[in-house]
Amino acid sequence: MIREILTELNSRMQKAVDGFVKELAGIRTGRATPSLVDDIVINYHGSFIPLQQLASISTPKADSIIIQPWDRTALKDIQKAITKANIGLNPQGEGGLIRLPIPPLSEERRSELAKLISRRVEERRVTLRNIRRDEIERLREMEKNKEISQDQFKNTVKEIDELSNSFIDKVNRIGQDKEKEIKEV
């Protein structure tokens, strides 16, 4: 039973870290990457469809993203959605494709992004601590119901603390790496 709790804890924390990595991938660093436009949803003929299902997205150079819709009638809708997404990119329609030039980040924008990353790191640490708290509470109930002994409870709490600290360290490292990437000129 205790192994199952630890396995579930590990799984929940790993999902939180994976979500954090995906979240940070969408933050612009001055280099073109398709993940900058991954979360954009297009209103296409009355349906909301993710951009990657309507077009091919490529990065031929480090300073631009090319979006080539499979249906040319979606061109205007895609441009509107990119503008509305407020990601700091200005879509330029060229024939049957959209070019997104990636302007270099200003020093002011770099510091704003660094603060944003710090906030997101703290939010994710809180999420991990909440997962930890939930599992310890579950163990406390098991101890109260005499399903596990006090010693098992204490030993498992130590394991949970070690596991959660390792995930918090992971989140901190990921955040530091992203900040370093943003501060590179």
Same domain membership, residue 17 and residue 42: no
Residue-level pLDDT at 28: 66
User: What's the total number of domains in the chain?
Assistant: 2
DSSP of 94-106, one letter per residue?
Answer: ETTEEEEE-PPPP
Query: Is 90 exceeded by the pLDDT of residue 17?
Result: yes
Same domain membership, residue 116 and residue 53: no
Which own/partner pairs from 121-127 qualify as long-range (CB within 8 Å, at least 24 positions apart)?
121/171, 121/172, 121/174, 121/175, 124/16, 124/17, 124/20, 124/171, 125/168, 125/171, 125/172, 127/16
Q: Count other Cβ atoms within 10 Å, centred on residue 4.
A: 8
Same domain membership, residue 168 and residue 117: yes
Same domain membership, residue 59 and residue 73: yes
Tell the burial category of 143 from Cβ atoms under 10 Å away from its Cβ (0-12, 13-18, 19+). Answer: middle
Task: Please tell me the pTM assigned to this model.
Answer: 0.70
Same domain membership, residue 40 and residue 18: no
Beta-strand runs (E) in the chain: 41-44, 47-50, 55-61, 64-69, 92-94, 97-101
Residue 95: which domain range?
A: 34-101
Residue-level pLDDT at 185: 58
| Tens-digit pLDDT profile for residues 43-100 | 888 888 888 888 888 888 878 888 888 888 888 888 888 888 777 778 888 888 888 8
Same domain membership, residue 170 and residue 112: yes
CATH code for the domain of 122: 1.10.132.20
